[in-house]
Amino acid sequence: MDPMSLRHAVLGLLAVEPATGYDLAQRFTKSISNAWHAGHSQIYPELARLQAAGMVEVVGEGARRSRTFAITDGGHEELRRWMTETEASRTQRSETGVRWFLLAVLDPEDRRIALDQEIAFMTSEAQRLQAIADAIDETPDPHPFRATVDLGLRVNAVMTDWLREQRAATEPDRPR
Amino acid sequence: MDPMSLRHAVLGLLAVEPATGYDLAQRFTKSISNAWHAGHSQIYPELARLQAAGMVEVVGEGARRSRTFAITDGGHEELRRWMTETEASRTQRSETGVRWFLLAVLDPEDRRIALDQEIAFMTSEAQRLQAIADAIDETPDPHPFRATVDLGLRVNAVMTDWLREQRAATEPDRPR
DNA sequence: GCCATCATGTAATTAGTTACATGATTAG
DNA sequence: CTAATCATGTAACTAATTACATGATGGC
């Protein structure tokens, strides 16, 4: 049972900084959402399993019966092992990808409508990523995930260019 | 219940050309695998549901009790509706993405090992995509999915550049 | 006092993977 | 004749989503 990226995503987020289950749910949507997502109903049970496996531990209990978890040495070792010794199974699932694939089977009119939607979506994504980048840049010391945000922006740019090309090729009257 | 990209991926593949369930399983791995994947154990039940919903129909029965499915007008309409009228839920899941995210929490030595693995993986992916592109280019008429293969290659190139930058920044003795 | 948000959990359902199972056809 | 591939299905399990449920704290 080597796949299971959720486990490693959680460990990785905790490796940066200890957090509560609630924090983790937020970080999934705010930082790693381009790669993986998990809601709290998945996170709490996973934290319990990781704790049972000695990979995370409770390092503090706060208000509202909150528990802050931190990664242990065992957890770090598991991360290291997974990253350097396992051959990735490479689960790949992107609804956006499916939609872009399907553009080809629409007639020109519908394709234009869909392309406009996709361009708008990518623009909002770029803004979301840029906001994250800006927030990171305001912090004093270099943030570990800054580089992947940059990658996201680059990929977004290439994809948006592609969408615009497709859009231009579908222009009705003046195909230029 | 508007998500469910599997349904639309199947409809889209059938929109290009009728196929058996077996064919579809192959096409998932060979063409759309960057966006979505499904094995035959998921495809056959989905075909049955689509048939019950009148979105696909059996257009031929061949050897080995094989049935060839084709998309119906209802199926086309559903595709059109989903692509132009629904707001994408944007399921996004990439184990590769998780791994790249986690690079930041590894120490330099392990990071180099992981980066080398990732660069090798992206290189093999580029070759796989290029092979698909070449196969498409040999066909007489323009293939609907040629453009998305091209997009895949472009994105791969940007990502590989990023990996190499990261790798260079982790050089041990001679950090340039 | 009340509303937003923090915080944690479980239950029910649906989606996806892996394993089991079977048999037909074709190429060598 | 026999191995590879074509072809279809079901069963068992795991992962993920959505819905249900509860309660604490802090700001207004």
B42 Cβ under 8 Å from any chain A Cβ: no
Q: Is the CB of B5 under 7 A from strand C?
A: yes
- Chain C nucleotides close to protein (CB under 7 A) are 6-12, 14-19, 23-26
Q: Do B93 and A98 touch (CB under 8 A)?
A: no
Distance from CA of B31 to the nearest CA of A (A): 10
Mean pLDDT for the stretch of residues B145-174: 94
Q: Do B94 and A36 touch (CB under 8 A)?
A: yes
B34 Cβ under 8 Å from any chain A Cβ: yes
For chain A, what is the mean pLDDT?
93
For A87, nearest residue in chain B (alpha carbons): B117
Reported confidence tier of residue B139, pLDDT bands at 50, 70, 90: confident
Q: Which pLDDT value is given to residue B1?
A: 46
Contacts of B92 in chain A (CB under 8 A): 33-37, 93-96
Lowest-pLDDT choice from A54-58, B161-165, B171-175: B171-175
Mean pLDDT for the stretch of residues B97-109: 96
Residues 84-143 of B with CB under 8 A from A: 84, 88-106, 110, 113-114, 117, 121
Contacts with B120 (C-beta within 8 Å, 6 or more apart), sequence order: none
- Note the CA–C1' distance, A145 to D23, in angstroms: 35
Contacts with A87 (C-beta within 8 Å, 6 or more apart), sequence order: none
Q: Which pLDDT value is given to residue B2?
A: 57
pTM (predicted TM-score): 0.92
Q: Do A97 and B34 touch (CB under 8 A)?
A: yes
- Note the CA–C1' distance, B79 to D5, in angstroms: 32
Instruction: Check pLDDT > 50 for residue B27.
Output: yes
Diameter of chain B by CA atoms? 65
What is the full DSSP assignment across A88-117? Answer: P---EEEHHHHHHHHGGGS-HHHHHHHHHH
Residue ranges of domains in chain A: 6-85, 95-169
- Note the CA–C1' distance, A3 to C21, in angstroms: 26
Q: Which of A110, A167, A135, A169 is nearest to A27 (CA)?
A: A135
Distance from CA of A91 to the nearest CA of B (A): 5
**Which residues in 121-160 of chain A line strand C, with CB less than 7 A from it?**
none
Q: Which pLDDT value is given to residue A31?
A: 87
For B146, nearest residue in chain A (alpha carbons): A104
Q: Which pLDDT value is given to residue B175?
A: 53
Q: Is the CB of B39 under 7 A from strand C?
A: yes
Contacts of B39 in chain A (CB under 8 A): none
Contacts of B80 in chain A (CB under 8 A): 106, 110
Q: Report the C-alpha dihedral over residues B5, B9, B10, B12, rounded to 10 degrees.
A: 140
Residue B106 and residue A23: Cα distance in Å, rounded? 22
Q: Is CATH 3.30.420.40 the right assignment for the domain spanning A6-85? A: no
Q: Which pLDDT value is given to residue A67?
A: 97
Residue A75 and residue A23: Cα distance in Å, rounded? 19
pLDDT tens digit sequence for A4-42: 799 999 999 999 999 999 999 999 998 898 999 999 999
